Chain A
Amino acid sequence: MREVAEEIKEEFSKAGVDIPVDEIEEKLRTLVDKYYVPLDEAKRSVANSLAKKYGVAKVVGVSETLEKIADIDAPKKWVNLKGKVVQIWKSESDVISQVGLIGDESGFVRFVKWKSADLPDLEEEKCYLLKNVVTDYWQGQYSIKLNRNSEIIPLEEDIEVASQEVVKEGAIVSVQQGSGLIKRCPMCKRVIVKGICNEHGKVEGVYDLRIKAVIDDGKSPQDILFNKEITEELTGISIEQAKEWVREYLDPSVVQSEIAKKILGRYFVVKGNIVGQYLLVESFEQLKDVREEDVQEALQKAEEMLS
């Protein structure tokens, strides 16, 4: 009992709160001895009530269980994760020190490290145990936030990141609004509309080129996203060309319709990682003439049904 009390004290002192160990032990004993609460549950309950009393963020360090990234299913939950940083994007925001993508064997999640968290920087391709991070939910996707109560522990082990790589073959059946030439907020990289970022207000947007499309194999549709490089490779339309069209026609949608003309109704095989609802295309191939073997195979199946 004393040990558990010491553990809790330790966790609270990390958050900068010093609680007499006797006080903790007494609370534990009340629950365990008097109310027959199992020790684990008592630990949790005591930590929670102390957190409330001392105004510390909830269940600090008490949840020792590790969550898998794919199990994140609610916002504002404190979790511990082990994962490998697969990508870091530069943040130009004053309050965010790092933004990136971390993955484990179950999936990927975007992370945001606040400047105020005063934590060391994460590096790409390195593995970490992230303690006491908070889940968040925005535009259909979960993310995690690293704040003052979070802890970053570098790991020696290598974490096998989920091969989220998916290959999908089918016809492009939709090129969606928001494709073509767009402007992003220089701070958070979100797409801005009429020069206004949802988070940062009026900003000087940065041009980008992308395609939001749907590939469909007759069994299920899949939302796909082409970034600037892949878009240029796929359509032969450079960002410079796109800007020129927009200047010439005074209409940003001209880029989207040019893209649509080139890819709608055509068959592709695309490869990439699934993040949220989208497959982020890393490579693609346009499918040309059919293979003779495939035709023969289908013919044979048809003949079998006739006999």
Chain B
Amino acid sequence: MREVAQRVFAKEFEDSNLSYKKGDEKYSPNYVLTPTGAECNRLFIVGTLTEKEDIGVEVEYWRGRIVDPTGVFQIYAGQYQPDAMRSLTEIEPPTFVAVAGKVSVFTLEEGDVRTSIRPEFVVEVDEDVRDRWVLETANMTLERLRALNEKSTESAKMALEHYDTDVVYYAKIVRDALLTLRHEKREITKEAREIAEEWWDEEDVEELEIEEKKEEKKDKREKGEEETGLDLWEDFTEDYFDV
């Protein structure tokens, strides 16, 4: 039976430190239980590859950092992940990538636990895929949070016992991740324009303009980005006000 690919945000995966085997055999599958109760053997993640480095001594061994709205996934690919390793040598950061891989847990000497992923593949994807993954991961995390509140699944009970999980903390992470989906703003703009065309008088349109500008500033502050919001705004004004 193939293992499902779980959807977990990077912050939650970083916070994970409970791992176990199911079964007594040498090749029994390994799992990491996350604070919200995702039992992960395999993960599917999408984010921005920001750094890559060959850290191998004699043979190639590649490390990559993949950033999502909440944190960083570390991936390590060596000779046993030839496809992923080849991709890592070819892909130039920064770029959006999708990765599926097995979870791996490493305990440092001081007893700290580090989680990482052994990728089965690394492929370049576009922003649509990234957005969809954020939404999907948000929904699946919310589902697990509900299970924690209701103590309705085995893994939820296990997670509560081990992590004493703070549901509100992870709900905040989910909300903040969702707020990075910029489509929201684009859509509102489009919708507002349509409504304005039909119903609104000058004053309302001016109000909309002020609201939009506020949003834009906030956005820029949050993201440290310049172009997108402004471009959008210019599109909007040009389209609607016939500037």
Contacts and interface: CB of A to CB of B under 8 A. Distances in A.
B138 A298 contact: yes
B208 interface: no
Contacts of B146: 305
Interface stretch (B66-74, B118-126, B218-226): B118-126
A219 interface: yes
A173 B84 CA distance: 13
Given A264-B98, A265-B98, A171 B145 contact: no
A295 interface: yes
B135 interface: yes
A190 interface: no
A305 B168 contact: yes
A303 interface: yes
Interface string B1-33: 011111100000000000000000000000000
Contacts of A289: 128, 131-132, 183
A221 B2 contact: yes
A261 B123 CA distance: 7
Report whether over half of chain B's contact residues are helix, strand or loop; otherwise say mixed: helix
A292 B3 CA distance: 31
B99 interface: yes
A265 B4 contact: no
A290 B167 contact: no
Interface string B98-134: 1110000000000000000000110101001101110
Given A264-B98, A290-B183, A295-B183, A305 B131 contact: no
B9 to A, nearest CB: 12
A303 B179 CA distance: 12
Interface in B32-70: 42, 44, 46
Contacts of B7: 218
A265 B129 CA distance: 8
Given A267-B132, A295-B183, A298-B142, A173 B168 contact: no
B4 A219 contact: yes
Interface in A247-282: 257, 260-261, 264-267
Kindly state the interface size class of chain B when it binds its partner. Answer: 35 or more
Contacts of B183: 289-290, 292, 295
A136 interface: no
Contact of A298 (B5, B46, B98, B178): B178
Contacts of B172: 302, 306
Contact of B100 (A174, A267, A302): A174
A65 interface: no
Interface string B156-199: 00000000000110011011001101011001100000000000
Contacts of B5: 171, 173, 216, 218, 221
A263 B138 CA distance: 23
B140 interface: yes
Nearest to A298: B138
Interface in B133-156: 133, 135-136, 138-140, 142, 145-146, 149
B2 A288 contact: no
Contacts of A257: 83
Report whether over half of chain A's contact residues are helix, strand or loop; otherwise say mixed: mixed
Interface residues of A, number: 32
A306 B175 contact: yes
A294 interface: yes
A39 B124 CA distance: 70
Given A216-B4, A216-B44, A292 B129 contact: no
B5 to A, nearest CB: 5
B181 A305 contact: no
Contacts of B100: 171, 173-174, 216, 264-265
Interface string A179-202: 000000000000000000000000
Given A173-B5, A260-B121, A299-B178, A265 B171 contact: no
Interface of B: 2-7, 42, 44, 46, 83, 97-100, 120-121, 123, 125, 128-129, 131-133, 135-136, 138-140, 142, 145-146, 149, 167-168, 171-172, 174-175, 178-179, 181, 183-184, 187-188
6 residue pairs, one from A and one from B, having the closest CB atoms: A265-B98, A305-B171, A292-B187, A302-B175, A173-B100, A218-B7
9 contacts: A171-B5, A216-B4, A218-B7, A264-B121, A265-B44, A265-B129, A266-B98, A288-B128, A290-B131
